[in-house]
Chain A
């Protein structure tokens, strides 16, 4: 039965607080064993969405199905999901073992069963021997591990992770991130992580939803989201994007010709339903653009002046003000541009017809 349903189905969920719409007609499906990320700027509704799934808030309309069962009206303790909280929310008056065993104890499991499960969980998060410790005697990384172990101990069908790494410093963040991915793979469990950190989401998730003002802007794999953003907003939010406003001139089977401030650019890709005259944006990632001292003979070319050079170690970032006033960013590997042009120099920026994407929205 479970194979015929996605693990989690959100059907047209809506939630408003007073006049503020927090979740706006969201529909999503998450499959079993998936590491799914909800990404968005703060206030985009991603936390509210997670609280709806956990059952801390009830949707104004719409349904939440887990394994095909409608849980919309169920209280949190009846839902087969568990949550790893942003603050970890470890019970300060209980030791690590009691924290991890909490869910099983609520279910009335025998003490021996609980103890062995607690041991297994501690081994899973590499915290053996910490049974008797109190939460306030643990380091940030240890707290995160105990919080993960506690959320997994009750064997949920879906684990919710609310900004699980935000309380950690950078080095520890990478370590715990790696561990989360490993645990997810080992258990084959569905993880749904909420984060505002796109690097985190891109690194961990197999699929992700980008939320904007309560609504889903795009659902895709991290790679698709970066390489094939659905709109100008998505392109700007994920990584960096040079957006050239353009007008469609000619549409052919496998290429489009566009007018960028009087200069013709071509893009090689089939776009269905694109009409000549439509106002669109050309999206080119900074690393797909190339800087030249002399006008290149091929490709789409912009000319301008360097206004800023930032050395970033592995790469160099250039900001070029084009003759039409647009600022574009070009990123090159440091090794290639050792003797690059200086600030104020006249340069040409080019990109190939395959490097650009036409965005209609």
Chain B
């Protein structure tokens, strides 16, 4: 029985492993190799390229041509460092805002009558039925100087001059919060919904007010969902390209934009790859922290 079970388990595990291998490990290996290459004006625009034409010695020879030039430049040019720092800052700020909006939303959803919850979840993910790009373009229409928002505010006499929101960091934040809010709401909702109602009742019974019952019981127990929601937003937001490119001004450099321009404008593939690899390492840090927190939670 046992060997057969083990075999079956291997099959089950093989599918996600193959998937990871084909769509994560292999592309990443290519990017990693690119990042240690040298940009040239050629097709493809980097060298060395591996060919088996010269046999093994040719392979070794081309291996010698690997360089850390791109990384050296990456860490010496303030442009890149600035882009990383502002990416982390903007993504962090947007995540914070999304949590402040998303948590009460998730709380209200989890307290809604059961037959309403499913409808509210559908509403929360309804924006995904429209193309992401279309939705970002819609924000341009809303935010620009002669856009809907300014029009409405001017019409109501609240402002006398149009507000410059479009092409600012504010617009990028609005776009990020809007686009990733469902990713923060759903894990928090999930964590809140599965809590036993009796826990809050027990807290109330033992002398807690509604407010203190929330802070001593509901909130701490929802933290895993909150962390998951924060990560699900923070990680893609840090590398986001479309939103800063379309809604941000020319000064709002985020690393996603830098990557894009290195690849497509400068055709410096090694530089872009190096920037991508460093980004990955930067984003691994919060993931590892989350993992550690979870395993600590499980152990105590």
Contacts and interface: CB of A to CB of B under 8 A. Distances in A.
Contacts of B199: 89, 91-92
A87 B198 contact: yes
Interface string B216-246: 1100110000000000000000000000000
A90 B196 CA distance: 10
A103 B207 contact: yes
B202 A85 contact: yes
A54 interface: yes
Contacts of A75: 204, 209-210
List the 10 closest pairs (A to B, CB-CB), nearest first.
A106-B207, A89-B198, A89-B202, A103-B206, A76-B204, A77-B207, A102-B206, A83-B205, A85-B198, A103-B207
Interface string B192-218: 000010110111111111101000110
Nearest to A162: B198
B206 A56 contact: no
Contact of B204 (A77, A86, A87, A151): A77
B220 A154 contact: no
Interface of A: 54-56, 75-77, 81-83, 85-87, 89-93, 102-103, 106-107, 134, 150-151, 154
A303 B42 CA distance: 111
Interface string B96-124: 00000000000000000000000000000
Given A92-B221, A151-B206, 18 more contacts: A56-B204, A76-B204, A76-B205, A77-B204, A77-B205, A77-B208, A77-B209, A82-B205, A83-B201, A83-B202, A86-B198, A89-B199, A91-B199, A91-B202, A93-B220, A102-B203, A103-B206, A107-B207
Nearest to A78: B207
Contacts of B209: 75, 77
13 contacts: A54-B201, A56-B201, A56-B204, A77-B204, A77-B205, A77-B208, A82-B206, A83-B201, A87-B198, A93-B220, A102-B203, A102-B208, A150-B206
B300 interface: yes
B274 to A, nearest CB: 43
Contacts of B217: 91
Q: Which of A55, A87, A93 has the most CB of B within 10 A?
A: A93
Contacts of A81: 205
A83 B300 CA distance: 27
Interface residues of B, number: 19
A285 B70 CA distance: 94
B217 to A, nearest CB: 6
A82 B201 CA distance: 11
A177 to B, nearest CB: 21
Given A85-B198, A87-B198, A93 B221 contact: yes
Contacts of B204: 55-56, 75-77
B123 to A, nearest CB: 26
Nearest to B221: A93
Contacts of A107: 207
B196 A87 contact: yes
A77 B217 CA distance: 15
A86 B221 CA distance: 20
A134 B300 contact: yes
Interface in B46-61: none
B196 to A, nearest CB: 6
A102 B206 CA distance: 7
B201 A106 contact: no
A167 to B, nearest CB: 12
A83 B202 CA distance: 7
Contacts of A93: 220-221
B66 to A, nearest CB: 50
Q: Which of B198, B199, B201, B207 has the most CB of A within 10 A?
A: B207
Contacts of A55: 204-205
B205 A54 contact: yes
Nearest to A56: B201
B206 to A, nearest CB: 4
Interface string B277-300: 000000000000000000000001
Nearest to B201: A56
